[in-house]
């Protein structure tokens, strides 16, 4: 082998593809870092790797307002929660 540094899988995926193949917005209720709130975080999928934004995309107290914003402003579609999801997850928007 050559004398260069070995590239790990994440670095290689970032180099190969800079745009995510899928962006999801996960809506949660009462997460540990925002008790009593509805929180939306962006999740970007890169060939099997998922990057979650640290800063919330939306923080609100009213789910219908969050849903309207995701649907009307960002033109996203709602997917219901999977029974195997973490209990704080209400739905996902793509």
For residue 26, pLDDT over 50 is answered with: yes
pLDDT of the residue at 42: 94
- Res. 48 pLDDT band, cuts 50 70 90: confident
More confident residue, 9 or 36: 36
Alpha carbon distance 16, 1 (integer Å): 22
For residue 13, pLDDT over 90 is answered with: no
- Residues 70-81: what's their mean pLDDT? 92
């Amino acid at each position: 082998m050559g004398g260069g540094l070995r590239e790990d899988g994440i670095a290689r995926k970032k180099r190969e593809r800079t745009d995510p193949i899928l962006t999801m917005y996960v809506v949660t209720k009462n997460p540990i870092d925002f008790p009593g709130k509805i929180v939306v975080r962006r999740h970007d999928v890169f060939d099997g790797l998922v990057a979650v934004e640290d800063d919330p995309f939306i923080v609100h107290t009213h789910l219908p307002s969050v849903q309207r914003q995701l649907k009307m402003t960002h033109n996203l579609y709602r997917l219901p929660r999977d029974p195997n999801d973490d209990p704080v997850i209400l739905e996902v928007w793509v």
